Amino acid sequence: MTENSKKQTEIAELGEFGLIQHLTEHLTLQNSSSEKGVGDDACVLEPGNRKVVVSTDMFTEGVHFNLMYFPLKHLGYKCVIGAISDILAMNAVPTQILVSIGISAKFSVEAIDELYSGISLACQNYGVDLVGGDTTSSMTGLVINVTAIGNEEENELIYRDGAQNNDLLCVTGDLGGAYMGLQLLERENEVYKVNQQMTPQFEGFDYILQRQLKPEARSDVKGLLKELEVKPSSMIDISDGLSSEVIHLCKQSNKGCKLFEETIPMDDQTKRMAEELSINPLVAALNGGEDFELLFTVPIDQHDKLKNNPNITIIGHMTDPKEGVRLVTTGGSEVALTAQGWNESNAE
């Protein structure tokens, strides 16, 4: 992380409470359910008779992000997206977040301002209120924890355990772009370490870079499904890769699945970068993660409502659990689907 030429304010000059006031003094509440925000011992929420849903995500420097190539503003934005995507996967409306950060001595107040500018932008774009959190010192770099809160009527919530035999397996958008964007950044970072005069070779790959550095959450899907008069029987967001999420749905619903390789949607930039780096694009889609698309199942009689929609792809169907979770390759053979998921070897 590079410091600019302006004077950098050490966090010790403000202290913990001064820093909190500095970061939050310009916040305004957007949701009627946010009765009391930052400034007291706890926030106060009043969603009426709706069900409250809560999820939390933690992001650690050196494990989940690399500040050599990840701008702090983009990082703040992405952390919010990752948290509210879990709320959207419940078919609920995200309304509030709490952000806690652990900060090492290398960060200035101006650096944390950059982080919070991204957090604030995400809140504005998605109509979410930042209503609390915590700050503490860290000996190992930057740690960010985002707790997301949302609400919805009970009969509108969608869980992971509702899939039935023969339900269609569907996904929004395209997959693998975030992973290939990461591989591109990692490649150029290695080149930079050897020769800092080299210009990064990013031309033609703006889409996959955005998928990694500034992803968006699928807040549009709730309205899209309502417009199509389709209610999923189960749903999950794709943060750990398609394989992991399919297996999660199958396990929670006690079902098997057939996933068809030829139907998995991938962008041309994803495929081109995979070819350039000699990576099978299917690996990026199945195991890459951080696409923040939504994976869901619907009854088979809803097929005609979905088949021509450009935002949704039918990629398989649910089966009896004894048939297992299977990937049907383009050659027609079937292999057991395995989940690489998250581990330290594929962390950023």
- pLDDT single digits (tens) 319-331: 999 999 999 999 9
Q: What is the pLDDT of residue 223?
A: 97
- pLDDT single digits (tens) 42-80: 445 567 788 888 888 989 999 899 999 999 999 999 999
39: pLDDT strictly greater than 50: no
146: which residues sit within 8 A by CB, 6+ positions away?
A: 56, 57, 59, 79, 80, 82, 83, 97, 98, 99, 100
Q: Which CATH code for domain 11-156? A: 3.30.1330.10
Q: Are 237 and 94 in contact (CB under 8 A)?
A: no
Q: How confident is the model at residue 219 (pLDDT cuts 50, 70, 90)?
A: very high
Quick one: how far is CA 249 from the chain centroid?
17
> Stretch 294-322: mean pLDDT, rounded?
97
Helix (H, G, I), strand (E, B) or coil at 93: strand
Q: Scanning the structure block, which residue is given the tokens 């609400």?
A: 151
Amino acid of residue 139 = M
Q: What percent of the chain has pLDDT over 90?
A: 71
- CATH superfamily membership of 168-346: PurM-like C-terminal domain (3.90.650.10)
Residue in 111, 184, 103, 135 with CA at minimum distance from that of residue 20: 135
Q: What is the pLDDT of residue 38?
A: 47
Q: What is the pLDDT of residue 27?
A: 56
Is it true that 11-156 and 168-346 share their CATH fold? Answer: no
Instruction: Spell out the domain ranges in the chain.
Output: 11-156, 168-346
Q: What is the pLDDT of residue 45?
A: 55
Q: What is the pLDDT of residue 342?
A: 39
Mean pLDDT lowest among 38-52, 131-145, 298-312: 38-52
Q: Is 157 left (phi over 0), alpha (psi -120 to 50) or beta?
A: beta
State the pTM of this model.
0.86
- pLDDT single digits (tens) 162-182: 999 999 999 999 999 999 999
245: pLDDT strictly greater than 70: yes
154: pLDDT strictly greater than 60: yes
Strands 325-328 and 256-260: parallel
Q: What is the mean pLDDT of the chain?
A: 88
Q: How confident is the model at residue 198 (pLDDT cuts 50, 70, 90)?
A: confident
**Residue 268 backbone dihedrals phi, psi, to 5 degrees:** -60, -35
Q: How confident is the model at residue 10 (pLDDT cuts 50, 70, 90)?
A: confident
98: pLDDT strictly greater than 60: yes
Q: What is the pLDDT of residue 346?
A: 38
